[in-house]
């Protein structure tokens, strides 16, 4: 995706004169302003230069700098298809909030507050995002150790309930970092939602309707939701912290475990970002293999969405029909990557294995058969009166909200915003294949349903083209760019040739040695834009790696949409937003 | 033995046979449903316990019976247990007024294959149907759980709405037959040689909806709604106490209401004589299970309505329809001279 154009920068510069510092790297253009001018600049960019789409907000910790925290805002201009990064230094751990400009920033700012302790002046509800109320540390600060701060282990729930402490069921020799107790969670719940009406209904943390461990609080007036809050963090594993402490290639398997339903898409997004940073060319064959598998994974993910979404609305059979097809894709992935779910198939610079024998035949059989199955799903649901009644005009998202909340993926496209990074910022081989972007009109649950159903059809088209291309390519074409010093050679070469072995050893021991600079690169995941903002100071580990999760931003509009609707709508709406907790919590 | 004693004995035997059959059929319907669902969903269904998985209901029963009893803290214990009884009893009592076949002579006595051949059979059915809701309400109330409570309230709203519709829908048949007795209704159909479903198609469709709503089947299973309410009103029950609720609601109730539909609309036991004396029973059961099959089929195909829609449909669409149907039937009957 192109970054902000020189002309625009000049225009902005005229407005802000010396306050504005522009630095343009290879993969990002960033504007830096002092904190006092930040709101003016953001407002100017939004209103005058049409950078209306909020992409992400995060912080970076520089302990050696007296100002310490730097705020990073990423914005997007849908008219010109341009991005820009705005940076500013926080003073006394404080930054102004931008929630009045983009409501979508509210969770990002809460996360920054939670992880760095940066306070946002004017934020309406500045509470911890992932950690519980009363937790006193800020995990993403550089002085917070990776293994956590050891504290005394807390008694287990059984011990609390039965008053049994002897013998203790925990080994006090092994000290752990603090975990939330029941009291902590109760305090968190009370802090998040002030009861206004009849009944507070807890949905979660473990609830079959939430597709993972999300904790919804509904304040109900009869069956109508008068307010709703979402408590995230049950699956928070501190991925960003981990990323700062491992080499680039070591972080790859972690990306599988974010949106575990579309592992290959996550990997693709991550390796694309790293390859941009390290300037690695990817061989043609690898690009096509990546595209093909990413699209297979997209169908796989959409099928899971379809199955569980229909299951939530009571259509029990669609679930198993979807899983029948999913199984075939799983088999294809397993046959090539060796694993089914968290496949870790891609590598920086290519893919792990060459295509397995017969893969293309299986894929061809699958894409020949799949359109019929799609018809079957349509037959079961699309014209079904009950389905229409449950989904039509439920949770309508306007185009303005799409930009203001930073929505992406099928959720954005369901509202008629053709925001598809496969077209806007082509990665892998997406610029060499033909496909259309289905968009909705109204932006309700039904439109998002149709968009996803059509996307599966488009994915089939892409796969078809990839198969054709891959069949033409010679069998011994390289699938990994092992000439680049930061790319690990294939395993069979490592055992046969000395140079490859040395290269592998060097990467494993010292890391990839990335150049300093920052890069933001994102990919179109089944659940929206999955972006990686990498700030590198050189060396084998990223200084800061921010994961921009599409699912998190898509979920952030949920409380607004559900107000005044019933909890039966909540389930339909949640299904259409389709969050995966592994990605929202990271 | 006195006349009364013999009559009592015969009734007791009938009750014994019926309760045994009902519970057995209810249990085996779980197997049927799972097998059917399996085939609808392109999988096998139970096939491990016994041939074709035929012993699966027994295994389930043993598992449910041997489970530890867990009662939630703060539960209203007497009501908690009462709910189980109140869920099961009306569902079984519904069978009391179902005629399975014509009367026959045994040892010089006329025996009717119906437990209570009362002249207000249909009223009893409505009464039992309304009583069913107490099991749900009590379980929702006594469990001390919000999910259960919301589920039971939903069910109560549905039952209230659909009992009214059901009453008006069935009144058309009552007008045609001129009696509230279930045996009388079947005999009226046999006499005329035509099933009432042809005279009262609207009433039948309305009845079908009510049947689905009362037995909590898809698309009206809002009180369970796995996704929103986990499983609704019986979420806090465990072991056989849990097992009783689906047994009563999903199976016994479905079978009983299907049987009543057969009585009202499909001529009860009437049908060509193909199996000699067993022919009426065969026809009755075949029709009943045909309807049960239809309900199961719907269950595994359709999505679910939401609570608001269900009551809305009942009050705004189905009740007026039922009223119009009733008035038209009455007028036509009057014009034709009460044939």
**CA of A569: which chain B residue's CA is closest?**
B306
Q: Taking residues A482-498, report their average pLDDT.
A: 84
Count how many residues are written for chain A.
586
Q: Which residues in chain B (129-168) have CB-CB distances under 8 A to chain A?
A: 146-147, 150, 154
In CATH terms, the fold of domain A6-121 is Beta Polymerase; domain 2 (3.30.460)
- Alpha-carbon gap, residue B55 to A517, rounded angstroms: 68
Pick the CATH number of A247-560 from 3.30.420.40, 1.10.10.10, 3.30.365.10, 1.10.645.10: 1.10.645.10
Whole-structure pTM value: 0.85
Predicted-assembly ipTM surpassing the 0.85 threshold: no
* A375-384, B6-15, B105-114: segment of lowest average pLDDT: B105-114
pLDDT at res. A174: 45
CB within 8 A of B57, min separation 6: which ones?
A: B27, B28, B30, B31
Task: Mark which residues 196-225 of B lie under 8 Å from A by CB.
Answer: 218-219, 221-222, 225
| Confidence class for position A83, pLDDT limits 50, 70, 90 | confident
Measure Cα distances from B2 to A240, B7, B8 in Å.
Answer: 88, 9, 10
Would you call A315 and B301 a contact, using CB atoms and an 8 Å cutoff?
yes
Q: How far is CA A187 from CA A183, A193, A379, A421, A474, in A?
A: 6, 10, 48, 41, 62
Q: Residues of A with CB below 8 A from B42's CB?
A: 320-321, 324
Cα–Cα distance, A132 to A206 (Å, whole number):
17
**CB neighbours of B316 closer than 8 A, spacing ≥ 6?**
none
Token code pair at residue A223: 């069956």
Pairing of strands A94-96, A119-121: parallel
Q: Compute the mean pLDDT over every residue in chain B, rounded to the nearest whole number.
A: 84
- The model's pLDDT over A270-324, given as tens digits with 9 standing for 90+, comes to 999 888 888 888 888 888 999 999 999 999 999 999 988 888 888 888 888 888 8
Cβ-based contacts of A571 with chain B (< 8 Å): 227-228
Pull the structure tokens for residue B128.
Answer: 């039992």
Contact A265, A528 (CB under 8 A): no
Give the largest Cα separation in chain B, rounded.
Answer: 64
Which positions in chain B touch A380 (Cβ < 8 Å)?
Answer: 301
Q: Is A422 left (phi over 0), alpha (psi -120 to 50) or beta?
A: alpha
> Does residue B37 sit at the A interface (CB-CB below 8 Å)?
yes
Q: Which of A177, A187, A345 is nearest to A255 (CA)?
A: A345
Closest Cα in chain A, distance from residue B298 (Å): 10
Taking 70 as the threshold, does the pLDDT of residue A146 lie above it? yes
Closest CA–CA distance from residue B220 to any residue of chain A (Å): 10
- In chain B, % helix, strand, coil (3-state, to 5) comes to 70, 0, 25
Q: What element of type H or E holds A167?
A: none
Q: Token pair for residue A182?
A: 């029941």
Q: Higher-confidence residue: B339 or A333?
A: A333
Within 8 A by CB and 6+ apart from A271, the residues are: A252, A346, A347, A348, A349
Using the Cβ of B175 and the Cβ atoms of chain A, whether some distance falls under 8 Å is answered with no
- CB neighbour list of residue B293: distance below 8 Å, 6 or more residues apart: B36
Residue A346 is encoded by which pair of tokens? 């891609």
Shortest Cα–Cα distance, B175 to chain A (Å): 33
Residues near A321 by beta carbon (within 8 Å), at least 6 away in sequence: A307, A373, A376, A377, A380, B41, B42
Closest of A285, A326, A320, A284 to residue A302, by C-alpha: A326
Nearest to A270 by CA among A520, A4, A556, A572: A520
Contact partners, residue A260, CB within 8 Å, separation at least 6 = A341, A342, A580, A582
The answer, yes or no, to whether residue B26 has pLDDT greater than 60, is yes
Q: What confidence score (pLDDT) does residue A299 get?
A: 92
pLDDT tens digits for A506-522? 888 888 888 888 888 88
Q: Residue A451 has what pLDDT?
A: 92
3-state secondary structure of A308: helix
Instruction: Tell me if B91 sits within 8 A of B249, measured CB to CB.
Output: yes
Of A201, A315, A566, the CB nearest to B308: A566
Above 50 in pLDDT, residue A172?
A: no
- State the Cα–Cα distance between residues B321 and B314, nearest whole angstrom: 10
Report whether pLDDT(A376) > 80: yes
Could you give the strand order of the β-sheet that contains A53-61, starting from the edge strand earlier in sequence? A21-24, A29-33, A82-89, A69-77, A53-61
Average pLDDT of chain A? 84
**A49 falls in which pLDDT band (50, 70, 90)?**
confident
Is the Cβ–Cβ distance between A334 and A298 less than 8 Å? Answer: no
For chain A, which residues lie within 8 Å of any Cβ of chain B, measuring from their own Cβ? 199, 201-202, 207-209, 223, 310-317, 320-321, 324, 380-381, 384, 386-387, 389-390, 566-571
Task: Give residue A173's pLDDT.
Answer: 46
> Are the beta carbons of A572 and A406 closer than 8 angstroms?
no
Nearest to A179 by CA among A131, A117, A111, A214: A131
DSSP secondary structure string, A274-301? HHHHHT----HHHHHHHHHHHHHHHHHH
The domain locations on chain A are 6-121, 247-560
| Digit-coded pLDDT (tens) for B273-287 | 787 778 888 888 888
Assigned token pair, A213: 């461990």
pLDDT of the residue at B143? 84
Torsion-angle region of B217 (φ positive above 0: left; ψ -120 to 50: alpha; else: beta): beta
> What region, left, alpha or beta, does residue B20 occupy, with left being phi > 0 and alpha being psi -120 to 50 degrees?
alpha
Q: Write out pLDDT tens, residues A358-375.
A: 888 999 999 899 999 899
Cβ-nearest to A209 among B222, B227, B305: B227
3-state SS, residue A419: coil
Report pLDDT digits (tens) over B218-227.
Answer: 788 776 766 6
Grade residue A204 by pLDDT with cuts at 50, 70 and 90: confident
| Average pLDDT, integer, range B45-66 | 86
- pLDDT for position A156: 59
**3-state SS, residue B230:** coil
Phi, psi of A96 (to 5 degrees): -75, 150
**DSSP string of A124-156, one letter each residue:** TT---SSSPTT----TTSTTS-TT--EEPPPPP
Return the pLDDT at A151. 65
Give percent above pLDDT 70 in chain B: 98
Per the CB < 8 A criterion, the answer to whether B170 and B129 are in contact is no
Contact list, A568 vs chain B (CB under 8 Å) = 222, 225, 228, 306-308
Say yes or no for a CB contact (<8 Å) between A386 and B146: no
Position with higher pLDDT, A179 vs A348: A348
- Optimal mutation site among A222, A376, A393, A568, interface B, most CBs of chain B within 10 A: A568
Lowest-confidence range among A4-18, A147-161, A354-368, B140-154?
A: A147-161
Which pLDDT band, with edges at 50, 70 and 90, does A260 fall under?
Answer: confident
- Measured CA to CA in angstroms, residue A456 lies from A328, A377, A413, A446, A453 at distances of 15, 12, 14, 16, 5
B305 touches chain A (CB under 8 A): yes
The mean per-residue pLDDT over the stretch B90-95 comes to: 85
Q: 3-class SS at B33?
A: helix
Q: Are the beta carbons of A409 and A526 closer than 8 angstroms?
A: yes
- The answer, for B304 touching chain A at a CB cutoff of 8 Å, is yes
* CA closest to A211 among chain B residues: B227
Kindly determine whether residue A570 and residue B304, on different chains, have CB atoms separated by under 8 Å.
Answer: no
Query: Could you tell me which chain A residue has the CA closest to the CA of B309?
Result: A389
- Cβ separation A315–B41 shorter than 8 A: no
Residues of B within 8 A of A202 (CB-CB) are 146
State yes or no: cis peptide before B99, omega within 30 of 0. Answer: no
Phi, psi (degrees; rounded to nearest 5) at A536: -110, 140
B309 touching A, CB under 8 A? yes
Q: Which of A481-485, B8-12, B321-325 has the highest mean pLDDT?
A: B321-325
What lies within 8 Å, CB to CB, of A252 at 6+ separation is: A267, A270, A271, A344, A346, A347, A348
d(CA B186, CA B103): 12
b/e per residue A90-115 (b: at least 16 CB within 10 A): beeeebbbbbebbbbbbbbbbbbbbb
- Cβ-Cβ contacts under 8 Å, A312 against chain B: 227-228
> Is B41 close to A389, i.e. CB distance below 8 A?
no
Radius of gyration of chain A (CA): 24
Residue B294: CB atoms within 10 A of its CB come to 14
Q: Are the C-beta atoms of residues A477 and A285 closer than 8 Å to each other?
A: yes
* CA A38 to centroid of chain Cα atoms: 26
Give the per-residue pLDDT at A152. 55
DSSP type of residue B248: I
């Amino acid at each position: 995706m192109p970054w902000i154009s020189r002309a625009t920068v000049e225009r902005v510069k005229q407005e802000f004169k010396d306050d504005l510092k522009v630095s343009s790297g290879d993969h990002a253009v960033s504007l830096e302003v002092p904190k006092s001018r930040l709101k003016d600049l953001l407002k100017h960019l939004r209103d005058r230069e049409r950078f209306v789409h909020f992409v992400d907000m995060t912080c970076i910790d520089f302990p050696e700098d007296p100002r310490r925290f730097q705020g990073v805002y990423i914005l997007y201009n849908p008219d010109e298809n341009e991005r820009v990064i705005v940076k500013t230094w926080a003073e006394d751990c404080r930054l102004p909030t931008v929630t009045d400009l983009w409501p979508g920033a509210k969770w990002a700012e809460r996360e920054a507050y939670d992880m760095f302790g940066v306070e946002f002046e004017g934020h309406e509800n500045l509470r911890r995002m992932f950690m519980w109320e009363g937790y006193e540390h800020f995990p993403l600060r550089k002085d917070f150790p990776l293994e956590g701060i050891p504290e005394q282990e807390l008694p287990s729930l059984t011990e609390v309930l039965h008053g049994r402490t002897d013998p203790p069921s925990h080994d006090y020799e092994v000290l752990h970092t603090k975990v939330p107790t029941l009291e902590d969670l109760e305090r968190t719940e009370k802090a998040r939602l002030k009861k206004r009406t009849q009944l507070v209904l807890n949905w979660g943390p473990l609830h079959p309707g939430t597709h993972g461990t999300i904790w919804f609080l509904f304040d109900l007036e009869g069956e109508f939701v008068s307010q709703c809050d979402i408590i995230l963090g049950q699956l928070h594993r501190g991925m960003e912290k981990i990323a700062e402490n491992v080499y680039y290639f070591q972080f790859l398997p972690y990306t599988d475990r974010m949106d575990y339903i579309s592992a290959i898409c996550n990997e693709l997004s991550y390796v694309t970002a790293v390859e941009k940073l390290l300037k690695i060319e990817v061989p043609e064959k690898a690009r096509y293999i990546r595209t093909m598998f990413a699209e297979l994974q997209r169908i796989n993910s959409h099928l899971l969405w379809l199955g569980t979404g229909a299951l939530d609305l009571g259509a029990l059979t669609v679930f198993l029909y979807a899983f029948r097809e999913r199984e075939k894709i799983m088999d294809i992935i397993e046959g090539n990557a060796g694993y089914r779910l968290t496949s870790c198939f891609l590598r920086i610079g290519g893919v792990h294995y060459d295509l397995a024998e017969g893969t293309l035949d299986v894929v061809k059989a699958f894409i020949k058969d799949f359109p019929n199955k799609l018809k079957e799903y349509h037959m079961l649901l699309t014209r079904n009166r009950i389905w229409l009644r449950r989904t039509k005009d439920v949770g309508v998202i306007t185009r303005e909200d799409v930009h203001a909340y930073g929505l992406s993926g099928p959720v954005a496209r369901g509202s008629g915003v053709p925001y598809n990074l496969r077209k806007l910022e082509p990665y892998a081989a997406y610029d060499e294949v033909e496909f259309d972007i289905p968009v909705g009109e109204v932006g309700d649950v039904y439109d998002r349903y149709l968009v996803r159903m059509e996307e599966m059809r488009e994915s089939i088209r892409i796969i078809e083209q990839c198969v054709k291309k891959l069949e033409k390519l010679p069998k011994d074409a390289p699938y990994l760019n092992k000439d680049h010093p930061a790319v690990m050679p294939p395993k069979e070469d490592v055992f046969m040739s000395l140079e490859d072995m040395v290269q592998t050893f060097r990467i494993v021991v010292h890391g990839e040695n990335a150049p300093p600079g920052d890069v933001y690169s994102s990919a179109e995941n089944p659940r929206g834009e999955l972006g990686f903002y990498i700030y590198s100071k050189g060396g084998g580990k990223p200084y800061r790696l921010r994961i921009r999760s599409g699912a998190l931003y898509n979920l952030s509009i949920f409380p607004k949409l559900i107000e005044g609707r019933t909890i039966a709508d909540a389930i339909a709406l949640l299904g259409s937003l389709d969050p995966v907790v592994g990605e929202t919590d990271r | 033995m006195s006349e009364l004693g013999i009559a009592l004995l015969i009734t007791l035997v009938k009750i014994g046979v019926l309760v045994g059959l009902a519970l057995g059929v209810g249990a085996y319907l779980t197997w049927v449903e799972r097998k059917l669902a399996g085939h609808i969903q392109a999988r096998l269904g139970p096939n491990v316990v016994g041939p074709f998985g035929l012993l699966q209901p027994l295994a389930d029963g043993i598992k449910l019976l041997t489970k530890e009893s867990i009662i939630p803290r703060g539960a209203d214990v007497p009501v908690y247990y009462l709910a189980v009884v109140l869920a099961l009893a009306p569902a079984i009592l519904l069978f009391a007024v179902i005629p399975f076949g014509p009367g026959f002579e045994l040892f010089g006595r006329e025996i009717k294959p119906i437990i209570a051949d009362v002249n207000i059979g249909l009223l009893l059915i409505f009464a039992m149907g309304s009583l069913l809701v107490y099991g749900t309400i009590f379980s929702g109330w006594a469990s001390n759980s919000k999910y259960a409570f919301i589920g039971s309230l939903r069910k109560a709203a549905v039952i209230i709405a659909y009992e009214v519709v059901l009453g008006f829908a069935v009144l058309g048949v009552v007008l045609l037959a001129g009696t509230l007795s279930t045996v009388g209704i079947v005999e009226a159909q046999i006499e005329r040689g035509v099933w009432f479903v042809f005279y009262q198609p609207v009433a039948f469709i309305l009845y079908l909806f009510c049947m689905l709503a009362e037995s909590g089947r898809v698309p009206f299973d809002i009180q369970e709604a796995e996704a929103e309410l986990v499983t609704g009103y019986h979420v806090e029950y465990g072991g056989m106490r849990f097992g009783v609720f689906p047994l009563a609601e999903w199976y016994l109730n479905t079978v009983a209401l299907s049987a009543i539909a057969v009585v009202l609309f499909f001529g009860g036991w009437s049908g060509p004589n193909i199996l000699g004396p067993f022919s009426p029973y065969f026809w009755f059961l075949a029709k009943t299970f045909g309807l049960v099959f239809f309900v199961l089929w719907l269950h595994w195909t359709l999505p679910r309505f939401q609570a608001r829609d269900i009551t809305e449909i009942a009050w705004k669409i189905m009740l007026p329809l039922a009223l119009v149907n009733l008035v038209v039937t009455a007028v036509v009957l009057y014009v034709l001279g009460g044939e």
